[in-house]
């Protein structure tokens, strides 16, 4: 069972003195940055020891293994600000969800601080967001911090946002307030089909995207000549009967999954679809979403996920500092 921590625990210990560490702890990996007292990144590190592989008692040790060389033994503890799955119910300590609608600039008011055995670190975990709805319940962890990190790039702090990944997150923001969210299991579904289904023999998911196949499949979805469930087995049959290449098969699967997600979101918008969508990511997956959005007549605006995470954690820390001043 994970530890218990209360909101605002030890927040008065957050000071501007010395360097601090920012951590984005995902399900399958974590990233850390050492920031000096002037806000300049001095070092960074990555690990494959994501939250999904750890027991609550293991988080502190994994973190120390990653950032231990950055810490000073004879100084005050280094403040570590963490977003992502470290705050899940199965994580280091649960940081309870904050219900939407909520202002992103108020996330620091809900920080939790797990107890540590090592006096060199003072960790604070950012909470996730939840949408308490009978028809559309939803949760997110980590994405809220990325959104906070790009707020200053938005003139009116409003818009539609997509954060592609294992679980693709969609957010409607109004003047810095997260109003509505939704999640698509797109990335996980793609991985399950590509790695565990009969279709795995017909797909080369590491190959370069065949844009012609990808876009043609999007057109078929849009015109309702194709559907996700109705065309999946055709990927296998196409290889057996038509010598369809595994590259083309993977590109078609990508279009079926991404296209179904995008068209579903557009259907929810009715007669008022967004003219642009902010994409937060840095992978090929985000590029595929951008290609699909553009083909559907929507302008994609790309934001780098690493930069957004770091800026978001910096904003959380600054919010706590402002409250303490």
Instruction: Report the pLDDT value the prediction gives residue 6, as an integer from 0 to 100.
Output: 43
Report, at the CATH architecture level, how domain 1-134 is classified: 2-Layer Sandwich (3.30)
From the number of C-beta atoms within 10 Å of its C-beta (0-12, 13-18, 19+), residue 195 rates as exposed
Helix (H, G, I), strand (E, B) or coil at 125: strand
Q: Return the higher-pLDDT residue of 178 and 324.
A: 178
* Domain spans, the chain: 1-134
d(CA 126, CA 83): 5
Helix (H, G, I), strand (E, B) or coil at 202: helix
Quote the pTM value. 0.92
pLDDT reported for residue 262? 98
pLDDT at 224: 96
Which stretches does DSSP call E strand in 158-316? Answer: 159-163, 168-174, 177-184, 276-280, 299-303
β 102-103/177-184 pair status: antiparallel
What's residue 11's pLDDT?
66
pLDDT of residue 282: 81
Q: What is the DSSP string of 128-155?
A: -EEE--SSS-EEESSHHHHHHHTGGG-S
Q: Does residue 4 register a pLDDT over 90? A: no
């Amino acid at each position: 069972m994970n530890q218990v921590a209360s909101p605002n625990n030890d927040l008065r210990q957050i000071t501007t003195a010395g360097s601090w560490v920012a951590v984005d702890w995902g399900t399958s990996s974590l990233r850390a940055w050492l920031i000096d007292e002037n806000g300049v990144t001095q070092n960074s590190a990555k690990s494959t020891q994501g939250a999904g592989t750890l027991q609550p008692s293991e988080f502190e040790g994994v973190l120390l293994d990653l950032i231990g060389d950055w810490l000073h033994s004879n100084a005050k503890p280094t403040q570590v600000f963490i977003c992502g799955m470290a705050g899940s119910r199965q994580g280091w300590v649960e940081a309870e969800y904050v219900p939407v609608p909520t202002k992103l600039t108020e996330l620091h008011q809900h920080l939790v601080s797990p107890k540590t055995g090592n006096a060199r670190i003072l960790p604070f975990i950012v909470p996730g967001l939840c949408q308490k709805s009978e028809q559309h319940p939803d949760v997110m962890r980590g994405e809220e911090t990325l959104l906070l990190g790009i707020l200053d790039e938005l003139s009116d702090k409003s818009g539609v946002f997509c954060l592609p990944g294992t679980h693709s997150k969609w957010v409607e923001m109004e003047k810095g307030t997260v109003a509505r969210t939704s999640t698509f299991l797109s990335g996980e579904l793609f991985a399950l089909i590509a790695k565990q289904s009969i279709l795995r023999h017909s797909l080369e998911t590491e190959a370069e995207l065949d844009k012609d196949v990808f876009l043609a499949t999007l057109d078929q979805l849009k015109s309702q000549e194709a559907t996700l469930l109705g065309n999946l087995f055709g990927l296998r049959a196409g290889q057996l009967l038509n010598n369809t290449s595994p590259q083309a098969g993977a590109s078609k699967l990508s279009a079926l999954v991404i296209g179904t997600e995008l068209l579903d979101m557009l259907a929810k918008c009715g007669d008022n679809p967004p003219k642009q969508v902010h994409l937060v990511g840095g992978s090929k997956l985000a590029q595929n979403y951008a290609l699909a959005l553009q083909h559907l007549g929507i302008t994609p605006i790309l934001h780098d996920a690493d930069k957004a995470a770091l800026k978001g954690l910096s904003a959380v820390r600054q919010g706590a500092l402002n409250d303490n001043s």
